[in-house]
Amino acid sequence: MSLRNVNVVLVHGAWADGSSWSRVIERLADRHIDAVAAPLPLTSLGDDTAALERTLARIEGPVVLVGHAYAGAVIGSARAANVKALVYIAALAPDEGETVADVFHRGEAHPQAPTLAPDRDGLIWLPREAFAGAFAHHASAREANVLAAIQRPIAAACIGVPVGRPRWKDLPSWFLVAAQDRMIAPDNQRSMSQRMGARVHALDVDHTPSVTAPEAVVEVIVEAALAVSAD
């Protein structure tokens, strides 16, 4: 079945940018699937959703919308009509009336999870050592160093606002549960995916498999794309 008519939009989470999807984009291209990494300002949930909507408005045809971590809340908030499926990669999926912070803090934190707090500007930075210790602990030292060097902070305003009705209530969704995640408790991910009614892939990957296990991420995206293409 051809997937040339299906577009994939990849949305980064906190402490990252679109380059975190580069290996996924390469592998999707090998399968003749067009992908775009949507840039988020990480200044507020409203700003981030608006930025994603601008990217979606530029794309013709059906879209599989993919979000990592915090971006799960963003893809769930987007209302563009061309979005036909959602894919959550170790992501947060707040329900209506919940905040990102509400769902992020559920479950027992991993011993190596970093302590996070906003600075005087209201920005939350990830400690440099946390990239190798929790954010992408399956990455090589060189990869972790690059992730730390390009990190973009997330504003506290992104995580404290209740979301509206999430799109996963109305669209088919997939969820890659990262069983080795040290940032978002795997049991928390399983709980969110179950209440979504998502198609679940539980894999022994870390919090950022787009970098450390890109082929596994691609397989989930392709499954969603095949479902969209078949409609």
In a domain, 149, yes or no: no
Expressed as residue numbers, the domain containing 184 is 7-109+158-230
Angle 194-68-215 (CA atoms, 0-180°, nearest 5)?
A: 95
Report the number of distinct structural domains present in the chain: 1
Question: Beta 63-68 vs 34-38: how paired, if at all?
Answer: unpaired
Four-CA torsion 128, 76, 51, 160, nearest 10 degrees: -60
In a domain, 148, yes or no: no
In a domain, 133, yes or no: no
In a domain, 122, yes or no: no
In a domain, 42, yes or no: yes
pLDDT digits (tens, 9 = 90+) for 81-134: 999 999 999 999 999 999 999 999 998 889 999 999 999 999 999 999 999 999
| Strands in 12-113 per DSSP E | 34-38, 63-68, 83-89
85 bridge partner residues: 64
Cβ neighbors of 76 (< 8 A, separation 6 or more) are 67, 86, 93, 94, 163, 166, 167, 168
Beta carbons of 181 and 206 less than 8 angstroms apart: yes
Q: What is the pLDDT of residue 108?
A: 86
pLDDT digits (tens, 9 = 90+) for 131-153: 999 999 999 999 999 999 999 99
Q: What is the pLDDT of residue 2?
A: 54
- Between CA 224 and CA 68 the distance in angstroms is 15
In a domain, 171, yes or no: yes
- The letter for the amino acid at 223 is E
CATH of the domain at 223: 3.40.50.1820
Is 70 exceeded by the pLDDT of residue 80? Answer: yes
In a domain, 128, yes or no: no
Angle 105-224-196 (CA atoms, 0-180°, nearest 5)?
A: 35
pLDDT digits (tens, 9 = 90+) for 24-53: 999 999 999 999 999 999 999 999 999 999
pLDDT digits (tens, 9 = 90+) for 203-230: 999 999 999 999 999 999 999 999 998 7
Is 80 exceeded by the pLDDT of residue 158? Answer: yes
pTM of the model: 0.96
Tokens of 108: 């027992």
- Between CA 26 and CA 34 the distance in angstroms is 10
Q: Provide the 8-state DSSP code for 157.
A: G
In a domain, 121, yes or no: no
